[in-house]
């Protein structure tokens, strides 16, 4: 059996676990009591529409307003990398992104910006993903990420390989950074989740691919971790990622995972996908470097079934 066939079939077997009636691999963890603060570390929601799941997740984390103060400028970073409609699950669900823009203004944001450094032609990605329309219809500003002049070189102290990189100027000029990737398969890293989504704020991704992809993905966290991570699992791409081929690659999972700890959020979503977090190279490295935890049993997790 060829390696690609083995990986694909293995993911297919793991996916059975991800589609169990409650929370896939997450329901193997012991239940944690509500924390004294009333705010959970992580929220995992299943069975609702994107906006409804987001609202319930934010309630479990203590309310969206704790992340955004009046007058702050907010950057929301979805995955808009591919020229594909929402049914393909190659990009973040537009209903979720639009609702998050609206919720940011309701929390007091003065400006809400959305962008991605796309892989396919940027204007087609923005339009055909339906994210551009969702952002504008809710008062947000969608910004192209396709021009190098809008990127600034920064140093990354503590990185092992990615010592410097160019990041989009919005990352430098906004107050709140919210990361909202889609949960999907990736041919190079098995899964593409919150940490992997941060490749969309840098200019030169070729450096990543030529210099230990998993380490570079983890290294970026030494520069900037998002203030909040929301993983869209409403539709989940189960194979042929990151672009996907057709709706045959997609499962209607109707899930969402949210939290501050980017490593823990990715670990929970990896279990939903049907894989083991410790088997994902950049997750293992990110924990090793102290950017978060893969030990979900140490966290208070709110599981919500709608």
Q: Percent helix, strand and coil across the chain, each rounded to 5?
A: 40, 20, 40
CA atoms of 90 and 87, how far apart (whole Å): 8
CA atoms of 20 and 196, how far apart (whole Å): 25
Percent of the chain whose pLDDT exceeds 70: 88
Average pLDDT of every residue of the chain: 91
* CB count in 10 Å sphere of residue 174: 18
Q: Report residue 136 as tokens.
A: 């504008």
Q: What is the pLDDT of residues 138-160, one digit of tens each?
A: 999 999 999 999 999 999 999 99
231 and 256 Cβ atoms separated by less than 8 Å: yes
Give the β-pairing of 111-114 and 73-78.
parallel
Phi and psi at residue 83, to the nearest 5°: -80, 80
* CB count in 10 Å sphere of residue 143: 16
pLDDT > 70? residue 24: no
pLDDT > 70? residue 14: no
Q: What is the DSSP letter of 220?
A: G
pLDDT value of residue 27: 62
- What is the average pLDDT across 100-112? 98
Q: What is the pLDDT of residues 72-98, one digit of tens each?
A: 999 999 999 999 999 999 999 999 999
Compute and round to an integer the Cα radius of gyration of the chain. Answer: 18
CA atoms of 90 and 50, how far apart (whole Å): 16
Q: What is the CATH number of the domain that holds 49?
A: 3.40.50
Q: Whole domain around residue 39: which residue ranges?
A: 3-305
Provide the β-strand partners of residue 202.
167
pLDDT value of residue 263: 98
pLDDT value of residue 231: 98
Domain count, the chain: 1
pLDDT value of residue 105: 98
pLDDT > 90? residue 101: yes
259 and 43 Cβ atoms separated by less than 8 Å: yes
């Amino acid at each position: 059996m060829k390696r690609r066939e083995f990986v694909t079939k293995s993911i297919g077997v793991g996916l059975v676990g991800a589609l169990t009636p409650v929370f896939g691999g997450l329901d193997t963890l012991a239940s944690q009591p509500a924390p004294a603060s009333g705010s959970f570390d992580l929220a995992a929601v299943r069975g609702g529409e994107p906006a409804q799941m987001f609202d319930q997740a934010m309630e479990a984390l203590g309310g969206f307003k704790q992340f955004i103060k009046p007058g702050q400028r907010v950057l929301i970073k979805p995955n808009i990398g591919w020229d594909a409609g929402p049914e393909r699950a190659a990009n973040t669900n537009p209903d979720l992104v639009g609702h998050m823009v609206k919720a940011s203004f309701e929390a007091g944001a003065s400006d809400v910006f959305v962008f991605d450094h796309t892989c396919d032609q940027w204007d087609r990605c923005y339009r055909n993903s339906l994210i551009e329309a969702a952002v504008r219809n809710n008062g947000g500003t969608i910004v192209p990420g396709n021009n190098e002049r809008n990127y600034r070189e920064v140093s990354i102290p503590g990185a092992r390989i990615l010592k410097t990189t160019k990041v989009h100027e919005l990352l430098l000029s906004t107050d709140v950074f919210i990361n909202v990737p889609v949960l999907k398969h990736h041919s190079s890293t098995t899964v593409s989740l919150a940490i992997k989504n941060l490749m969309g704020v840098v200019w030169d991704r070729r450096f990543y691919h030529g210099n230990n992809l998993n380490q570079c993905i983890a290294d970026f966290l030494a520069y900037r971790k998002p203030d909040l991570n929301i993983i869209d699992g409403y539709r989940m791409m189960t194979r042929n990622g990151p672009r996907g081929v057709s709706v045959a690659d997609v499962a209607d999972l109707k899930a969402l995972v949210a939290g501050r700890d980017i490593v823990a959020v990715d670990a929970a979503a990896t279990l939903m996908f049907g894989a083991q977090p410790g088997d994902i190279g950049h997750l293992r490295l990110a924990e090793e470097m102290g950017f978060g935890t893969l030990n979900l049993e140490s966290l208070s997790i709110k599981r919500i079934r709608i």
